[in-house]
Amino acid sequence: MHKVKDIEKDKLDYDSNKFMSFVQASVMSLPCIWLYFTKDAISLALRECASKIMIGYLLGALIICRLVIGYFKIELLYVLYLPIMLSFSFNTKVVIINSILAFNVFNTYLNVPWFLPLQFLLYYMSNQEICSNNFCIALMINYTLSIFFKKIGQLKSLDHEVCNIFSILLTNIFYLTETSNMSIPFKILHGTLSALICAILINYIISMLMKILFKPHVYIQSMILSSVIVLGFPLLTDHFIQIHDCMTPLQWLINYITTSDIRLKIFFTWLVTLVTLVPAFVMLQSHVSLNTSRKIWHFLIFLIITIPFKYDPKFVKIALAGIIPLFLCIEYIRFLKLEPVGSYLDSTLHSFADERDLQGPLIISYIYLILGISFPLFLYDSPVGLVSLGVGDSLASIIGKKFGRYRWPESEKTIEGTVAFIGSTFVVCEILKSSLNYFENTNWYKLFIICFLSGILEGNSILNDNILIPSFMLICERLQ
pLDDT digits (tens, 9 = 90+) for 107-158: 999 988 888 888 888 888 877 666 667 888 899 999 999 999 999 988 888 9
Identify the weakest region by mean pLDDT among 41-45, 123-127, 129-133, 293-297: 41-45
* Amino acid identity for residue 422 in this structure: I
d(CA 319, CA 98): 28
Model confidence at 7, in pLDDT bands (50, 70, 90)?
very low
d(CA 137, CA 319): 30
pLDDT of residue 310: 92
Q: Is the pLDDT of residue 236 over 80?
A: yes
Q: Is the pLDDT of residue 257 over 90?
A: yes
Task: Say which residues have a Cβ less than 8 Å from residue 366's Cβ, sequence separation at least 6.
Answer: 327, 349, 352
pLDDT digits (tens, 9 = 90+) for 315-327: 999 999 999 999 9
Residues of the chain with pLDDT > 70, as a percent, come to 92
Q: Is the pLDDT of residue 335 over 80?
A: yes
d(CA 337, CA 344): 8
Q: Is the pLDDT of residue 239 over 50?
A: yes
Task: Say which residues have a Cβ less than 8 Å from residue 186's Cβ, sequence separation at least 6.
Answer: 177, 321, 378
SS3 338: coil
Model confidence at 39, in pLDDT bands (50, 70, 90)?
low
Task: Say which residues have a Cβ less than 8 Å from residue 443's Cβ, sequence separation at least 6.
Answer: none
d(CA 47, CA 38): 11
Task: Say which residues have a Cβ less than 8 Å from residue 142's Cβ, sequence separation at least 6.
Answer: 101, 104, 167, 168, 171
Q: Is the pLDDT of residue 179 over 80?
A: no
Identify the weakest region by mean pLDDT among 206-215, 328-337, 424-433: 206-215
Mean pLDDT over all residues of the chain? 86
Task: List the one residue out of 360, 362, 371, 357 whose CA is nearest residue 332.
Answer: 362
d(CA 248, CA 478): 37
pLDDT of residue 4: 43
Q: Is the pLDDT of residue 14 over 70?
A: no
pLDDT of residue 12: 47
pLDDT of residue 378: 93
Top mean pLDDT of 17-26, 212-221, 271-280, 447-456 is at 447-456
Q: Rounded mean pLDDT of 12-41?
A: 74
Task: Say which residues have a Cβ less than 8 Å from residue 35's Cβ, sequence separation at least 6.
Answer: 42, 85, 88, 89, 479
pLDDT digits (tens, 9 = 90+) for 60-102: 898 888 888 888 888 899 999 999 999 888 888 888 899 999 9
pLDDT of residue 193: 93
Task: Say which residues have a Cβ less than 8 Å from residue 428's Cβ, sequence separation at least 6.
Answer: 387, 391, 392
Q: Rounded mean pLDDT of 305-314?
A: 94
Model confidence at 480, in pLDDT bands (50, 70, 90)?
low
Q: Is the pLDDT of residue 405 over 50?
A: yes
d(CA 283, CA 276): 11
Task: Say which residues have a Cβ less than 8 Å from residue 189's Cβ, sequence separation at least 6.
Answer: 173, 321, 324, 325, 378
Of 131 and 397, the structure prediction assigns the larger pLDDT to: 397
d(CA 353, CA 290): 8
